[in-house]
Structure 1
Amino acid sequence: MTEQSNISQLSAQDAQFLYIQSATNLTHVMAVYIFDPSTAPGGKVRFKDIIEHMRKRMDVSPMFKRKLYRLPMDIDHPYWVKDEHFDLEAHISHGRLPAPGDWRQFCIHVARHHSKPLDMTRPLWDMYVLEGLDNIPGYAKGSYAILTRIHHSTIDGVSGAHFFAAVSDKDPHGTPAIPLPEGDSPANDLPTTSEILSRAINNTVTSPVKLAQALLKFAPALVSSAQKSITGGDDKTATGVPQTRFNGPVTPHKMFDAITFDLDELKKMRLKVSDATINDVVLAICSGALRHYLTKHKELPKDSLVAVAPVNARSRSGDEANPGNNISAMTIKIWSNIADPVERLEAIRDTTRETKAAKSGLSARIMTDLTQHIPGVTMASVARILTDERFAPKMSNLMVSNVPGPQIQLYMNGAKLTHQYGLAPLAHGMGLFIATPSYNGTISFNIISDRKMMPDIEFFRECLQRAFKELRDAKPKAGARQTKKAAVAPKKPLTPGDGSVMYRRVARKPRRVAAKAGGGGKPKVK
């Protein structure tokens, strides 16, 4: 965002998420946090305690108290202005999970809340406190969820993680997890008519020049892309997108499910192939799951599926405290047409390495950068066309987002955070999003899809678990570093979202414990 005095205007990347929103393409993100109140004073947290806690943390980000000021016909990008009628209690609501209160009912309830639009006339966030989770195995008695929705124009994955860390504590006594800012957040002033017109004219006039400069900057990549299109390109970097059930129009009705694994298990998996990363392992598991799912439905394409993976564009020095978006993306093959899990991981490692080195031609990163120099009125008009289901481009088959989270135990109001999930927007032509946030030694695979595209979402969760086990049990590639498998006690009880196979000692012999497929049931001991 550009700052002058106390005037704050949305950047082009932030504004994109406003322009592409429609009745079926809502562009907010939602985080779901599960808390165990047994560590809180008296073993209980009241709804008003949560409200008061948030009231004390309102200054951790300017996003809490500011709303949008959109211009007529979107002649320029919108501005952030102070909400003079801000009421904290209007942003935090309370409810209870209906009977039977099991994992399946929880997923349905979460998906329905995610499918509702935010009130765009107020600050673009809200919280929903959900009780009644006692029938979900692995959740402590009295656990409750906080569903936090934030519009994507306000925040990205990295700044979102920073935001949650800022409202969390590192112990049950209320010690902030990160240092809090001193003083109130600066209020955003309403720009004058002359300021609005001056900025709009300047942006419209200078944008073509900046766009031309950006095109020159990316000319080598554009030429390379054109050459590969003519010659057929490198087999491991060409990104033709096959048609799947996920490449159609989405409806307003979303689906959600999740499964959680031990992060250490994924760290061991990456050692099966030299120089593989955790992100490569995540993509390999998603690819294996899609292979199983589409094979079951007799829909597996001969060509590899293609994924879009967001990339953090922030500098290593930080800037995470500032809300807004600073992301790019890469479009890569995930080699779903390779049956062997280790060979698939190796191919993904090669592909991501080539893509990151910018040797794969015109990527989503370049398109993201170019949009920064398109006038607001043009971008808004194009967005309305591209979000129409008749014209939506087929950029990929799915999106996979891997945002590292805090690896320490966090608290809020003295209650212990035990589980974390995340939901993201879908789009016409891309009706599957797999978000994989990590927290305190675990990583959850969160499935967000459309009810018509994936009515059997529980089966896809089972496919993720199957792909995880196949890669975990596969023999490493020759020459790769290996680690010994150790039989260790599970760090926490299994839940419907816990798919990692853990071990415990009983009568001096380890017994394997696997979570029952189709959440809501008790773990089976084999």
Structure 2
Amino acid sequence: MTARLSAQDASFFFLERSTPMHGGSVAIFRCPRGGFTYEALLNVVESRLPAVPRYRQKVREVTLGLSLPVWVDDPDFDIEYHVRRSALPSPGSEARLWDLVARLMSRPLDPARPLWEMYLVEGLGKGDGNGSGRFAIVTKSHSSLVDGVEALDIGQVIVDETRTPEPPAEDLWMPAPEPSDATLAAAALGELVMRPAEGVSAVRHALADFATSAGRALGALEKAARLVHTATNSAPDNPLNAPISRSRRYATARTPLADYRALRERYDCEIHDVVLTVVTGALRGWLQSRGELVGESTIVRAMVPISVYDTEDADGAPGAEGDDEPAGRARVSSCLVDLPVGEPSPAVRLSHIAHATASSAGHGRRVTARTMARLPGFAPATLHAVGARVATSFSQRMFNLVVTNAPGPQRARYVGGAQLTQMYPVAPLLPNQTLSIALTSYDGDVYYGLNADRDAMSDVDVVASLLTESLEELSEYGR
């Protein structure tokens, strides 16, 4: 039995023809004493595929566009096509890893196969560009693939809480027979006869411009959209909005979680407010470095999908602050926040942002990713994907960039016995937006991943370096 793509997923799928619509992650590991091989990664991924059945399915379009495309089992599924091996030239530095990530994220996924790839990247030095002892795993998953309800990100299910987890149940997967074009067309015609209005509407959604169709997506995202009460004005003009190419640049920043906790206590705010203030300071410095006019009233409008966890205790969700292990049911709540880049005082920036996020807390969009509560692993991989999906249900004219924040566990995680030491997310770029910022807290640090258009945002490294400076400025202010 086939499952039809939602209108939103179909728009993601068609948009891939002009711009990459995949996100993912860059995970850095310390090699275990016995080493880590490509075959070991293959075994881990193959054993976890039953938890993400859509990763063995591909998209089939319906003849003449009679209906939305469908998910079907791939009878020729080849795990070695999807899990690949790469290596950095010696000496293998992190800068060369980021260059490789940019190239990988620029390449389109094959629409005739399941829409994901994973790379084992060998040859990463010990941290100073020399020696050995580390490797990376880079994942790519299409935005139509991961919804947090029916499908999780592969980067979540391969991660274990212990170095030697219990072996998963044996997988006896057999692909269902692939339907013929005639069968798919007949099913689509049947649906048109039974529900003509819905059928015509679905086709219109699938073929319409992405920015329009995504805003009318079906399901939970559409219902949640009615709850949003935000500014209806267009976002301010700035270099963050411009036509983009398929090519990408990628940059990162790593900062101590303890600094955010200290600022939370000093200013009696949420850690997420501190995060947005750090981003604001970095964007302020970046605009000034470009010679842009930055007055006291200058703002950058951010779409902010905030990942939180419902718990049995009604008083809060510790995972949202990165203090403890996230537990319970995951949610993504989004709002529009005007980042006061024109404000020279970092403390006043934080005050403005804390007020804005508190005011929007009761009106934001919440989408429950309930499937994640059933599995261990590294939930931020899925939460970033869900956050990007939520952002697309707003018109891109309403904001300048997306900032996704997904809290992670504060204890070590493993893949195939290798310890995960760093985790940098990669969020997709939306049309006409030159930068997306994603961040994840993990094991005492906050990791920023900046995905940018190669031509329009050639100086993305400046933003990455300014994130660290912005945190230091806020920490030192008033002392």
TM-score band, normalised by the shorter chain?
Answer: 0.7 to 0.9
In structure 1, what is the equivalent of residue 275 of structure 2? 282
Q: Does 1:307 align with 2:302?
A: yes
Deviation at 1:431, TM superposition (A): 0.8
- Aligned mate of 2:15, from 1, 15, 20: 20
Secondary structure, counterpart of 1:105 in structure 2: helix
Q: Quick check: 1:396 aligned with 2:399? A: yes
Match of 1:195 in 2: 187
Q: Deviations over 1:275-297 (max 9, x none)?
A: x2222221111111000111122
- CA–CA distance in structure 2, aligned partners of residues 205 and 355 of structure 1: 36
Q: Which SS does the other structure have where 1:111 is aligned?
A: helix
1:205 aligns to 2:197 (yes or no) = yes
- 1:247 equivalenced with 2:241 (yes/no): yes
2:291 aligned residue (279, 295, 298)? 298
Residue 482 of structure 1: aligned partner: none
Q: Kindly tell me: are residues 354 and 185 of structure 1, through their superposed partners in 2, closer, same or farther at Cα, counting changes over 3 Å?
A: farther
Tell me if the contact between 2:332 and 2:365 (Cα under 8 Å) persists in the aligned partners: no
Hey, what does 2:155 align to over in structure 1?
164
User: Is the contact between residue 53 and residue 151 of structure 2 (CA under 8 Å) also seen in structure 1?
Assistant: no
1:411-433 CA deviation, whole Å, 9 max, x = no partner? 11211111111112213321110
Deviation per CA, 1:120-164, whole angstroms, max 9, x where unpaired?
111111111111111633998321111111111011479887643
Corresponding residue of 1:355: 360
Q: 1:110 to 1:337 in 2, by over 3 A?
A: same
Q: Helix, strand or coil: the match of 1:437?
A: strand
Opposite residue 7 of structure 2, the aligned amino acid is A
Q: CA separation in 2, counterparts of 1:203 and 1:77?
A: 14
Partner residue, 1:258? 252
Q: How many residue pairs are counted as aligned between the two chains?
A: 414
Matched, 1:419 2:422: yes
Whole-angstrom CA distance in 2 between matches of 1:399 and 1:244: 14
Cα distance change of structure 1 residues 95 and 475 upon mapping to structure 2, 3 Å threshold: same
C-alpha distance in 2, partners of 1:315/1:201? 42
After TM superposition, the score normalised by the length of structure 1 is: 0.70
| Alpha-carbon distance, 1:221 to partner | 7.4
Q: CA deviation at 1:469?
A: 0.6
Unaligned runs of 5+ in 1: 1-5, 226-236, 318-324, 367-386, 477-526
Please state how far the C-alpha of 1:451 moved relative to its aligned partner. 2.1
Please give the alpha-carbon distance, in whole angstroms, between the structure 2 residues aligned to 1:173 and 1:139: 29
CA RMSD of aligned residues (A): 3.6
The CA distance in 2 between the partners of 1:98 and 1:138, in whole Å, is: 11
DSSP 3-state at the match of 1:141:
coil
| Partner residue in 2 for 1:524 | none
**In the alignment, is residue 63 of structure 1 matched against residue 66 of structure 2?**
no
Amino acid in structure 2 at the alignment position of 1:38? P
Q: Distance in 2 between matches of 1:208 and 1:85?
A: 32
Q: Aligned pair in 2 of structure 1 residues 51, 22: CA closer, same or farther (>3 Å)?
A: same
Q: CA deviation at 1:27?
A: 0.3
Q: Which has the larger radius of gyration?
A: 1
Q: Are residue 438 (structure 1) and residue 431 (structure 2) matched? A: no
Give the C-alpha shift of residue 355 in structure 1.
2.3
The reply to whether residue 271 of structure 1 matches residue 265 of structure 2 is yes
- In structure 2, C-alpha distance between the alignment counterparts of 1:100 and 1:329, rounded to whole Å: 42
- The 2-side partners of 1:432 and 1:190 are apart by 39
Task: Return the offset for 1:198.
Answer: 2.8
SS at match of 1:285: helix
> Distance in 1 between the 2:93 and 2:350 partners?
35
The answer for unaligned runs of 5 or more in structure 2 is 203-215, 313-329, 368-391
Indicate the SS of the match to 1:402.
strand
Give SS of 2:10's match: helix
Q: Deviation digits for residues 306-339 of structure 1, max 9, x if unmatched? A: 011225599879xxxxxxx996642221111212
CA contact (8 A) 1:36 1:416 kept: yes
Deviation at 1:405, TM superposition (A): 2.3
* Partner Cα separation in structure 1 for residue 344 and residue 132 of structure 2: 42
Residue 188 of structure 1 deviates from its aligned partner by: 6.2
Q: How does 1:500-519 map to 2 (within 5 A)?
A: none
- Aligned partner of residue 397 in structure 2, secondary structure: coil
Give deviations 1:173-197, integer Å, cap 9, x for gaps: 2347xxx678657966756444332
Deviations 1:248-285 (CA, angstroms, capped at 9, x unpaired): 111222111101112232122223333x2222221111
C-alpha contact 2:333 2:365 (8 A) present in aligned 1: yes
- Give per-residue Cα distances to partners, 1:353-391, cap 9 Å, x unaligned: 222323xxxx8889xxxxxxxxxxxxxxxxxxxx9xxxx
Deviation at 1:203, TM superposition (A): 5.6
Q: Does the 8 Å contact 2:74/2:175 carry over to 1?
A: no
Check 1:261–1:205 CA distance in 2 against 1; reply closer, same or farther (3 A cut): same
Q: Is the 8 A contact 2:232 2:398 kept in 1?
A: no
Segment drifting more, 460-469 vs 132-141: 132-141
* Secondary structure of the structure 1 residue equivalent to 2:32: helix
User: How far off its partner does 1:102 sit?
Assistant: 2.0
Query: Equivalent residue for 1:8?
Result: 3
- Corresponding residue for residue 382 of structure 2: none
- Residue 75 of structure 2 corresponds to residue 84 of structure 1: yes
Native 8 Å contact 1:291 1:300 kept in 2: no
For 1:467-486, what aligned pairs fall within 5 Å after superposition?
A: 467-475=470-478
Checking the alignment, whether the CA contact within 8 Å between 1:30 and 1:424 is kept in structure 2 is yes
CA separation of 1:463 and 1:217: change in aligned 2, threshold 3 A: closer
- Secondary structure (helix, strand or coil) at the match of 2:267 reads coil
Say whether the 8 Å CA contact 2:277–2:346 is kept in structure 1. Answer: yes
Aligned to 1:337: 342
Query: In 1, Cα distance between the equivalents of 2:436 and 2:99?
Result: 17
Q: Which residue of 1 aligns with 2:462?
A: 459
